[in-house]
Amino acid sequence: MTDLLAGRALTDAAARRQLNRRHRAERRFKYYGLAAIFAALGVLAVLLVTIVGAGYSAFQQTHIQLDIELREDLIDPDGTRKEADIRQANYAVLVRDALIKIFPDASGRRDRRALARLVSSGADIQLLNMVLADATLIGSTQTIWFKASADFDSLSKGQIPRDVPEDARKVSDKQIAWFDHLAALGLVEKKFNTGFFTTADSREPEQAGILGAVVGSLLTLIVTLVLSFPIGVMAAVYLEEFAPKNRLTDFIEININNLAAVPSIVFGLLGLAVFLNFFGLPRSAPLVGGMVLALMTLPTIIIASRAALRAVPPSIREAALGMGASPVQTVTHHVLPLAMPGILTGTIIGMAQALGETAPLLMIGMVAFIVDVPGSFTDAATVLPVQVFLWADAPERGFVERTSAAIMVLLAFLIVMNILAVVLRRRFERRW
Amino acid sequence: MTAMPDQDVEMGRAPAPMPNKIRTQHVSVYYGDKCAIKDVSLDIESNRVTAFIGPSGCGKSTFLRCINRMNDTIDICRVDGSIVLDGTDIYDSKIDVVQLRARVGMVFQKPNPFPKSIYDNVAYGPRIHGLVSGRGETDDVVEASLNRAGLWDEVKDRLQDPGTSLSGGQQQRLCIARAIAVQPEVILMDEPCSALDPIATARIEELIDELRANYTIIIVTHSMQQAARVSQRTAFFHLGDLIEFGDTEQVFTNPIEQKTQDYITGRFG
Ligand SMILES: Nc1ncnc2c1ncn2[C@@H]1O[C@H](COP(=O)(O)OP(=O)(O)O)[C@@H](O)[C@H]1O
Ligand SMILES: [Mg+2]
């Protein structure tokens, strides 16, 4: 009689073949996994290289040094030294005169205007501010670094080809010759572009900065955090620790999960209809932006908080209740502190999402062109991703590099926030 | 000491009757429609160790948790009948559960110290019940409680270490110290040694015997030897029914019910 149970021996050829097949399959599976990871990393690398490649030059700005004669007869002919008078003076002329002194051959009106275009149109404001700050400068001659205009900034960065016909580029041969002469005199220098971090948006690329958007984003996120964190945590605590389990709470739970999947632009429409049109809150304001983003972030915070609360072992609750702690004491003394790292991690991730959100803010008018750094929650403001959106739409070469630079700033914020979340999780992770 | 059914079952001392601390009458417990305890009436004597034994799932824990109303925390759980502690019905609507649980402390199956320092674990109960004010008083209560739980000498130099850094047996004694820090009258213990090694178990059993002088103790155990060693009274449950309740010595040597006989001789379990 054959022994059915015995089957083949493990050393049998067929069994060995089977074993080899299994090993090969496992190896193959491992390689698929590695390939997937490398593909993902590759895409990420391409993305980063593209952005950094296009954007790093924005952190440098070409400057031109000029000796400016702060002529009293032009700035303050009556010698009053009153601010109103000083403000009225035409400082652009001073800049142009300084240029003409270097290039006396530029004689005609057109030449002079072309010459003046080498320097940023913000030069006169720079002079005005200098004189306002120190009126004793009037009458003296000062050596000052001015920003080159965006076109010559691009030229010096090699972004404008010199070998194409003159009418195919934005700068003329004559201007190039002047610029090269200035460079030969050592009057042209690339400096770190601090202005990019200290000014708000502008029509002129060389004067446009990110600060307005950064402050707008901060104000918006503060509103979002102040609204969504307490509400989200309270909702999660109630649902997880106190609510009876019945149809109503099931219904609420399903709706919260659905809310997390609602496209963000819908929240923007809601904000437009309710906050702006019904309550009449100001357009483009961080207050409203923050409220809209809070709606969007709430489900994220509630879901993360509930998961964190659920991860606290029931034995801790039993211990506290068994000691005679009230349910509220049990939650506030034990459960919530233990869940807090998880809750904070979820909150930071929610905030990071809110920081990168664009669509709902477009709906409530945060897409406006704003040249001032917002000073309060009701000032018109824009936010980082919207700034990226706006600059990406602008045709000037200078804005192309600024778009990438703004993305880099946005990514830096996101990375910092995510690192914070990881650190929090590591730091407070507990074993039971 | 009289004859023993088994050599390593050492009997608790033959008890003289004590006044009743807790009277339970016609207690039934339901989880939803499922009846986990059926019409149980028994009296718990003061300053005695009463053991609940019985096969797994017979409702020992359920019944124990009725005595400090821990079952209130389970939505679907319903308790019928009356449980009277020192003359007051603990299921009376006027009873404050928080105070009840201060009078009836509990030690759980798995040691569950709070993830806080040893000191804070013990000080927590007295603090929330307002039994101490000021650092000095708290220090005294912590020391006294740890002393009584037989843990003081082992932890007195590391009171600020987390309670979870102790060994399993130490953690369980910390939980006992935590429970007695609020000066309860009754201590409920739900299989307090089931997660411990034999040496740690022996320490806890000694401790239970010492604590009997000051507290009324009810212990659930799946180990008949343990029930025989530490208790004076034993209740045997089976499928939600109280089958037999009497002096430990009598239950183990001379059970009245056939089911008890079968269980203690290991015919089912
Ligand atoms: N929270 C609960 N929900 C529903 N049924 C429960 C719950 N706790 C215990 N039970 C049921 O009640 C019965 C008694 O359980 P338990 O008191 O834990 O038994 P023991 O402690 O004696 O092992 C078991 O059948 C168990 O399934
Ligand atoms: Mg049990």
Query: Is the pLDDT score of B90 beyond 80?
Result: yes
Helices (H) and strands (E) in chain A, counts: 19, 3
Query: Is the pLDDT score of B10 beyond 50?
Result: no
Query: Is the pLDDT score of B32 beyond 60?
Result: yes
In chain B the domains, ranked by start, together with CATH numbers, are 19-264 (3.40.50.300)
* Chain B neighbors of A245, CB-CB under 8 A: 75
A2 burial via Cβ count (<10 Å: 0-12, 13-18, 19+): exposed
Query: Is the pLDDT score of B117 beyond 70?
Result: yes
DSSP string of A169-220? SSS-HHHHHHHHHHHHTT-EEEEE-THHHH----SSGGG--SHHHHHHHHHH
Query: Is the pLDDT score of B82 beyond 70?
Result: yes
Query: Is the pLDDT score of B9 beyond 90?
Result: no
Please give the DSSP secondary-structure letter assigned to residue A119: B
Query: Is the pLDDT score of A432 beyond 60?
Result: no
Is A319 touching B (CB cutoff 8 A)?
Answer: yes
Is there an atom of ligand 1 within 6 Å of B36 CB? yes
Q: What is the pLDDT of residues B188-202, one digit of tens each?
A: 999 999 888 899 899
Q: Find residue A339's DSSP bridge partners.
A: none
Is there an atom of ligand 1 within 6 Å of B31 CB? yes
Shortest distance between the Cα of B180 and any Cα of chain A, in A, equals 10
CB contact under 8 A, B99 and A244: no
Is there an atom of ligand 1 within 6 Å of B62 CB? yes
Query: Is the pLDDT score of A23 beyond 60?
Result: yes
Give the pLDDT of residue A4. 58
Q: What is the pLDDT of residues A311-349, one digit of tens each?
A: 999 999 999 999 999 999 999 999 999 999 999 999 999
Query: Is the pLDDT score of A429 beyond 90?
Result: no
Q: What is the pLDDT of residues A388-418, one digit of tens each?
A: 999 999 888 889 999 999 999 999 999 999 9
In single-letter form, the type of residue at position B246 comes to: G
With CA atoms as reference, report the closest residue to A355 among A424, A409, A419: A409
- For residue A56, CA distances in Å to A1, A45, A62, A355 come to 82, 16, 14, 22
Q: How confident is the model at residue B12 (pLDDT cuts 50, 70, 90)?
A: very low
Is B128 touching A (CB cutoff 8 A)?
Answer: yes
Residues 44 to 63 of B: which have CB under 8 A from any A CB? none
Residue nearest to atom 3 of ligand 1 (CA): B31
Q: How confident is the model at residue A6 (pLDDT cuts 50, 70, 90)?
A: low
The predicted model gives B93-104 an average pLDDT of 91
Is B204 touching A (CB cutoff 8 A)?
Answer: no
Q: How confident is the model at residue A161 (pLDDT cuts 50, 70, 90)?
A: confident
Q: Nearest CB to A321: which of B70, B99, B179?
A: B70
Q: What is the pLDDT of residues A168-190, one digit of tens each?
A: 888 888 899 999 999 999 999 99
Q: What is the pLDDT of residues B227-260, one digit of tens each?
A: 999 999 999 999 999 999 999 999 999 999 999 9
Q: Which residue has the higher pLDDT, A72 or A49?
A: A49
Q: Find residue B24's DSSP bridge partners.
A: B42, B83
Q: How confident is the model at residue A385 (pLDDT cuts 50, 70, 90)?
A: very high
Give the pLDDT of residue A83. 84
Q: Which residue has 């503060």 as its token pair?
A: A222
Q: How confident is the model at residue B144 (pLDDT cuts 50, 70, 90)?
A: very high
Ligand 2 centroid, distance to B140 Cα (angstroms): 34
Give the pLDDT of residue A370. 87
Give the pLDDT of residue A38. 97
Is there an atom of ligand 1 within 6 Å of B269 CB? no
Is A247 touching B (CB cutoff 8 A)?
Answer: no
Cα–Cα distance, A161 to A183 (Å, whole number): 17
Q: What is the pLDDT of residues A215-256, one digit of tens each?
A: 999 999 999 999 999 999 999 999 999 988 889 989 998 999
Q: What is the pLDDT of residues A263-316, one digit of tens each?
A: 999 999 999 999 999 999 998 999 999 999 999 999 999 999 999 999 999 999
Query: Is the pLDDT score of A366 beyond 50?
Result: yes
A250 burial via Cβ count (<10 Å: 0-12, 13-18, 19+): exposed
- Cα end-to-end distance, chain B, whole Å: 27
Is there an atom of ligand 1 within 6 Å of B105 CB? no
DSSP string of B105-158? EEE-SS----SSBHHHHHHHHHHHTT---HHHHHHHHHHHHHHHTT-HHHHTT-
In single-letter form, the type of residue at position A11 comes to: T
Contact call for residues B55 and B238 (beta carbons, < 8 A): yes
Residue nearest to atom 24 of ligand 1 (CA): B57
Pure H helices in chain B = 60-66, 97-103, 118-128, 134-148, 152-155, 168-180, 198-211, 224-230, 248-253, 258-264
User: pTM for the complete prediction?
Assistant: 0.84
pLDDT, mean over chain B: 89
pLDDT, mean over chain A: 90
Q: What is the pLDDT of residues A68-123, one digit of tens each?
A: 888 888 888 888 888 888 888 888 888 988 998 888 888 788 888 888 889 998 89
